[in-house]
Amino acid sequence: MAEKCRGIEAWGSIMWFILLQLLAICLETKGSNVFASGASIIQEHARRRLDDVAGSINVDCGIPENSSYTDPSTDIPYVPDGEYIDTGVNKNITANISSNELPRYVMTVRSFPQGNRSCYTLRPPEGKAKVYLIRATFMYGNYDNLDKLPEFSLYVGVNLWDTVKFDNASHIVNKEIIHVPTMDNIYVCLLNTGSGTPFISALELRHLHNSTYTAKSGSLILCQRLDFGSTTNKIVRYNEDVYDRIWFPYNCPQCALLHTSSTVDSLGSSEFNLPSKVMQTAVQPINADEPLNFEFDFGNPNENFYVFMHFAEVERVQMNQSREFNISLNDLVLGEVVVLQYLRSKTITLQPVRGAKLSFSLYKLANSTLPPILNALEIYLEKIFWQQPTNQEDANAIEDIKSTYNVVKGWQGDPCLPHPSWDGLNCNKNGYHPPRIISLNLSSSGLTGEISPSLSNLKLLQHLDLSNNSLTGGLPEFLSELPNLRTLNLQGNKLSGSVPLALMERFNNRSLSLRLDWNPELCLVSPCKGDQKKSVVVPVVATIVPFVVILTALIVILCIYRRKKVAWMFASFQKEKGSQLRSDNRQFTYAEIVRITNNFSTIIGKGGFGTVYHGYLSDGTQVAVKMLSPTSGHGSTQFQTEIKQEGY
Ligand SMILES: *[C@@H]1O[C@H](CO)[C@@H](O)[C@H](O)[C@H]1NC(C)=O
Ligand SMILES: *[C@@H]1O[C@H](CO)[C@@H](O)[C@H](O)[C@H]1NC(C)=O
Ligand SMILES: *[C@@H]1O[C@H](CO)[C@@H](O)[C@H](O)[C@H]1NC(C)=O
Ligand SMILES: *[C@@H]1O[C@H](CO)[C@@H](O)[C@H](O)[C@H]1NC(C)=O
Ligand SMILES: *[C@@H]1O[C@H](CO)[C@@H](O)[C@H](O)[C@H]1NC(C)=O
Ligand SMILES: *[C@@H]1O[C@H](CO)[C@@H](O)[C@H](O)[C@H]1NC(C)=O
Ligand SMILES: *[C@@H]1O[C@H](CO)[C@@H](O)[C@H](O)[C@H]1NC(C)=O
Ligand SMILES: *[C@@H]1O[C@H](CO)[C@@H](O)[C@H](O)[C@H]1NC(C)=O
Ligand SMILES: *[C@@H]1O[C@H](CO)[C@@H](O)[C@H](O)[C@H]1NC(C)=O
Ligand SMILES: *[C@@H]1O[C@H](CO)[C@@H](O)[C@H](O)[C@H]1NC(C)=O
Ligand SMILES: *[C@@H]1O[C@H](CO)[C@@H](O)[C@H](O)[C@H]1NC(C)=O
Ligand SMILES: *[C@@H]1O[C@H](CO)[C@@H](O)[C@H](O)[C@H]1NC(C)=O
């Protein structure tokens, strides 16, 4: 031993070494089966009528808590949004834009000046895999007195739904999507894209019949929903429309209006449940022999459009009359020949079509006596959502962790997407495949309780930082079983018990960087309390060569005393001039020694040649650091003698 130590007399050297073999052998693993497995909650989905709009989700964003109300013009009961989101601030639109004409739900907004991603969580009772209509409404109303129209992105789940932009401060922007969610929670997210603070006025969700608005794949984004031939020029929605679709009045050029006062579908409606008010009015060409023509320009040549045309005969057709027509869209004849029944609605779903411009023509058949008519029209854009949400196992685990620790960091929506991911999380990118969580940083987050077993489900985790919290309990075994874990920082907690052997092994072979210091209760070397053995002092004898000052030289030794017997471990010192350190040896700079001993704050004894300080290595190993004062010229020799005498 002494021979090995001789090489350390590197008094004036600039580098400093504490060469010590970490004594993993000292460390025993303690059982960590302290964690109960979480019980899964099976949720019963209440059965509701499809058209139960009042019972569906109607959120007036930005109204104060406890200020639910029923809108007198629609009879829809609106609730505040606190239940659906926990970030953002409530704002009123400016007074000079407010007017009685405006729906009440645009009078307030919730705005999100902080965080670049804000997500509402909607949990319809019917759950996933159902057809929902989701509508988000925005009116700027100069709520922030900046007189600057913002622009931001709207996401459903992890996929871009649309961009929200405004023509003016009183422009009410409705974004509507028909969507079949793959998960019970539907996230609606607003993303700050650097062009102004996102905000939202209202958020609504309706459940639709599953055989009505369907695309081959993907979701349907509303482009137009028009009530042709409206006589009132007013929008129609709930409760004239049981699904609360909003129908805008529209009259094409060269069209004549038709209408009936009789109710359409009084004997029972189709699955589209069309509102009679909309179906009672229609248009036909002014010149009965001409086709009915109209067109829309969406400027999206590469997207698929789905068109739903709604018809109902509103005139009494005599025996010697007939109304038969066919439909062409962009010069392609689509759909069947249309034959109508009096006051019975009929919906024709056209084949999906592409084109920047959609030009419709309804042609009277040669043997038809009456011209074509049209009562209502809906045009949707097909949006295929390629991006998949975060890996389900990861997402469940992190949700668990969030609720275990009550994390309030604006952790909303999908953990990883849309970018930026949750504060403190990093995810890998995997094309459109589900992203995985690769790092979690909950440092200084006020965590209490034990280390959550859900962490073991974050299988691809590489970096875990739970430092500077108040975590208690033992170090669970599973931490060593995370195959990719490269850094683990648990410093500054109240952990107790011992360190699992496997974890120490990974630390020792350098596959894991581990920080366990500042856990006063943590036993870093066995035998630990409960082992019914006398507690251990682990002297690390260090010779320190100070940089500017004078001190130094070091030796580190770990050992164990058991009932006055010196049971013990070894420390090896090795330094050959210019040689590489052995991989299991560690070297410390003076600055590190200062940190290890917390600036030499705890004196645990005085040796013949210097003071012994208590400290923690960065992996949490408790050490004693002996300081050798070079002013005592014979110090080095005596130091080594002492080591020899003590049997090192
Ligand atoms: C809202 O109502 C609940 C129950 O009536 C009450 O406990 C809560 O304090 C109210 N909140 C506010 C902000 O008034
Ligand atoms: C919005 O206006 C209402 C009444 O007009 C007022 O009570 C409320 O405090 C205002 N809210 C904000 C956030 O200014
Ligand atoms: C609203 O008031 C602001 C000043 O408070 C004014 O600059 C703005 O022009 C007004 N807008 C309208 C539509 O009257
Ligand atoms: C605001 O924009 C909307 C939509 O473009 C338009 O219908 C409305 O007339 C505009 N209002 C004002 C006051 O300019
Ligand atoms: C938020 O987005 C803006 C603009 O894209 C960017 O400059 C900023 O760094 C982002 N902030 C955070 C916290 O990601
Ligand atoms: C629609 O729902 C019914 C029952 O709710 C189910 O039997 C049917 O398979 C569903 N159809 C589609 C296309 O999902
Ligand atoms: C249909 O019959 C009525 C009389 O019943 C007649 O007045 C009308 O001109 C006929 N219309 C056509 C298109 O034949
Ligand atoms: C549709 O009607 C037009 C005009 O009568 C006719 O030329 C065309 O052949 C019809 N197409 C079909 C598929 O019936
Ligand atoms: C009109 O002609 C079509 C075929 O072009 C036929 O299917 C339809 O039955 C005819 N209608 C009448 C009223 O004759
Ligand atoms: C975790 O976040 C804190 C600040 O909140 C930072 O100081 C620390 O370096 C982070 N840890 C890792 C591993 O990135
Ligand atoms: C530890 O966390 C507390 C709050 O929990 C914070 O005030 C303190 O600055 C943090 N210390 C370090 C070293 O990060
Ligand atoms: C380090 O030790 C762990 C546990 O003994 C082992 O699984 C891993 O393969 C080792 N890694 C290296 C790089 O030796």
Cβ atoms of residues 540 and 557 within 8 Å: yes
Q: What is the DSSP letter of 51?
A: T
Residue 538 in any domain: the answer is no
Q: Which ligand is nearest to the CA of 320?
A: 7
CB of 145 within 6 A of ligand 3: the answer is no
Looking at residue 156, what is its pLDDT? 96
Picking from 288, 335, 284, 286, the residue whose alpha carbon sits closest to that of residue 307 is 335
Residue 107 in any domain: the answer is yes
CATH (domain of 561): 3.30.200
Residue 260 in any domain: the answer is yes
CB of 210 within 6 A of ligand 6: the answer is yes
Q: Which of 46-60, 160-174, 212-226, 416-430 has the lowest mean pLDDT?
A: 46-60
Phi, psi of 233 (to 5 degrees): 60, 30
Residue-wise over 393-414: b if at least 16 C-beta within 10 A, else e? ebbebbebbbebbebeebbbbb
* One domain for residues 204 and 230: no
CB of 367 within 6 A of ligand 9: the answer is yes
CATH (domain of 229): 2.60.120.430
CATH (domain of 125): 2.60.120
Looking at residue 256, what is its pLDDT? 94
Looking at residue 282, what is its pLDDT? 97
Residue 8 in any domain: the answer is no
* One domain for residues 418 and 319: no
Q: Which of 117-131, 150-164, 239-253, 592-606 has the lowest mean pLDDT?
A: 592-606
Looking at residue 622, what is its pLDDT? 60
Q: What is the residue whose two structure tokens read 């129908």?
A: 247
Residue 462 in any domain: the answer is yes
Beta 353-354 vs 304-312: how paired, if at all?
Answer: antiparallel
* One domain for residues 369 and 397: no
Q: Looking at ligand 12, which residue's alpha carbon is closest to its atom 2?
A: 506
Residue 446 in any domain: the answer is yes
The CA distance from 224 to 378, in Å, is 5
Number of H helices, E strands in the chain: 6, 40
* One domain for residues 474 and 620: no
For residue 97, pLDDT beyond 90 = no
For a substitution probing ligand 6, which of 210, 212, 213, 349 has the most ligand atoms within 8 Å of its CB? 210
Question: ∠ CA(300), CA(303), CA(305), 5° rounding?
Answer: 100
Looking at residue 450, what is its pLDDT? 94
Q: Rounded to the nearest whole angstrom, what is the distance from the C-alpha of residue 115 to the centroid of ligand 2?
A: 24
Cβ atoms of residues 435 and 412 within 8 Å: no
Q: Rounded to the nearest whole angstrom, what is the distance from the C-alpha of residue 446 to the centroid of ligand 11?
A: 9
Beta bridge partners of 426: 439
Residue-wise over 556-575: b if at least 16 C-beta within 10 A, else e? bbbbbbeeeeeebbebebbb
* One domain for residues 401 and 361: no
For residue 609, pLDDT beyond 80 = no
Beta 463-465 vs 437-441: how paired, if at all?
Answer: parallel
The CA distance from 330 to 237, in Å, is 30
Mean pLDDT of the region 106-128: 94
Looking at residue 191, what is its pLDDT? 97
Rg of the Cα atoms in the chain: 36
Alpha-helix runs per DSSP H in 512-615? 590-596
Q: What is the dihedral of CA 24, 452, 618, 514, to 10 degrees?
A: 60
CB of 463 within 6 A of ligand 10: the answer is yes
Q: Rounded to the nearest whole angstrom, what is the distance from the C-alpha of residue 536 to the centroid of ligand 12?
A: 28
Beta 470-471 vs 448-449: how paired, if at all?
Answer: parallel
Residue 148 in any domain: the answer is yes
Binding-site members are: 626
Q: Rounded to the nearest whole angstrom, what is the distance from the C-alpha of residue 66 to the centroid of ligand 2?
A: 14
Q: Is there a cis peptide before residue 453, judged by omega within 30 degrees of 0?
A: no
Picking from 42, 181, 200, 209, the residue whose alpha carbon sits closest to that of residue 123 is 181
Cβ atoms of residues 190 and 152 within 8 Å: yes
Question: How many CB atoms neighbour CB 211 within 10 A?
Answer: 9
For residue 540, pLDDT beyond 60 = no
Q: In which domain, by residue range, is 326 found?
A: 222-383
Which carries the bigger pLDDT value, residue 631 or residue 527?
527
For residue 466, pLDDT beyond 70 = yes
DSSP secondary structure string, 432-489? BSPP-EEEEE-TTS--EESPPGGGGG-TT--EEE--SSEE-S---GGGGG-TT--EEE
- Which domain-ending residue is among 383, 414, 443? 383
Which carries the bigger pLDDT value, residue 338 or residue 18?
338
Q: Tell me the pLDDT band of 585, cut-offs 50, 70 and 90.
A: very low
CB of 289 within 6 A of ligand 8: the answer is no
The CA distance from 295 to 309, in Å, is 14
The CA distance from 361 to 346, in Å, is 18
Q: For residue 444, give the ligand 10 atom closest to its CA.
A: 5
* One domain for residues 312 and 458: no
Question: How many CB atoms neighbour CB 387 within 10 A?
Answer: 17
Picking from 601, 602, 596, 599, the residue whose alpha carbon sits closest to that of residue 618 is 596
- Which domain-ending residue is among 153, 175, 208? 208
State which amino acid sits at residue 533: K
Looking at residue 335, what is its pLDDT? 67
Q: Looking at ligand 9, which residue's alpha carbon is closest to its atom 12?
A: 367
Mean pLDDT of the region 608-618: 57
* One domain for residues 324 and 281: yes
Strand arrangement of the beta sheet that strand 425-427 belongs to = 425-427, 437-441, 463-465, 487-489, 513-515
State which amino acid sits at residue 127: G
Residue 188 in any domain: the answer is yes
Looking at residue 539, what is its pLDDT? 31
For residue 538, pLDDT beyond 60 = no
**Mean pLDDT taken over the chain:** 79
Residue-wise over 481-499: b if at least 16 C-beta within 10 A, else e? ebeebbebbbbbbebbbbb
Q: Which of 90-99, 203-212, 419-428, 577-586 has the lowest mean pLDDT?
A: 577-586
* One domain for residues 87 and 176: yes
Q: Looking at ligand 4, which residue's alpha carbon is closest to its atom 8?
A: 171
Mean pLDDT of the region 370-399: 95
CB of 484 within 6 A of ligand 12: the answer is no
Looking at residue 50, what is its pLDDT? 58
For residue 568, pLDDT beyond 60 = no
Give pTM, 2 decimals. 0.76
Looking at residue 25, what is its pLDDT? 27
CB of 125 within 6 A of ligand 5: the answer is no
Helix (H) or strand (E) holding 6: helix 2-6
* One domain for residues 408 and 343: no
Contacts of 634 (CB under 8 A, 6+ apart): none
Q: Rounded to the nearest whole angstrom, what is the distance from the C-alpha of residue 534 to the centroid of ligand 1?
A: 56
The CA distance from 383 to 444, in Å, is 41
Looking at residue 397, what is its pLDDT? 96
Query: Token digits for 22?
Result: 């970490």
Q: Which ligand is nearest to the CA of 469?
A: 11
Looking at residue 83, what is its pLDDT? 92
Cβ atoms of residues 481 and 506 within 8 Å: no
Query: Token digits for 569?
Result: 């471990």
Looking at residue 13, what is its pLDDT? 32
The CA distance from 387 to 432, in Å, is 4
Looking at residue 529, what is its pLDDT? 63
Q: Tell me the pLDDT band of 49, cut-offs 50, 70 and 90.
A: low
CB of 468 within 6 A of ligand 11: the answer is yes
CB of 505 within 6 A of ligand 12: the answer is yes
Picking from 467, 501, 465, the residue whose alpha carbon sits closest to that of residue 485 is 465
CB of 367 within 6 A of ligand 7: the answer is no
The CA distance from 184 to 119, in Å, is 15
Mean pLDDT of the region 443-455: 94
Which carries the bigger pLDDT value, residue 395 or residue 538?
395
Looking at residue 512, what is its pLDDT? 93
* One domain for residues 416 and 465: yes
* One domain for residues 572 and 641: yes
Cβ atoms of residues 337 and 272 within 8 Å: no
- Which domain-ending residue is among 184, 208, 232? 208
The string of pLDDT tens digits covering residues 615-642 is: 666 665 566 565 554 444 444 444 444 4
The CA distance from 346 to 340, in Å, is 7
* One domain for residues 449 and 376: no
Q: Looking at ligand 3, which residue's alpha carbon is closest to its atom 1?
A: 96
Residue-wise over 247-279: b if at least 16 C-beta within 10 A, else e? bebbbbeebbebbbeeebbeeebeebbbbbbbb
Q: Is 370 helix (H, G, I), strand (E, B) or coil?
A: coil
Binding-site members for ATP are: 626
**Domain total of the chain:** 4
Q: Looking at ligand 8, which residue's alpha carbon is closest to its atom 3?
A: 363
Q: What is the residue whose two structure tokens read 């195959």?
A: 483
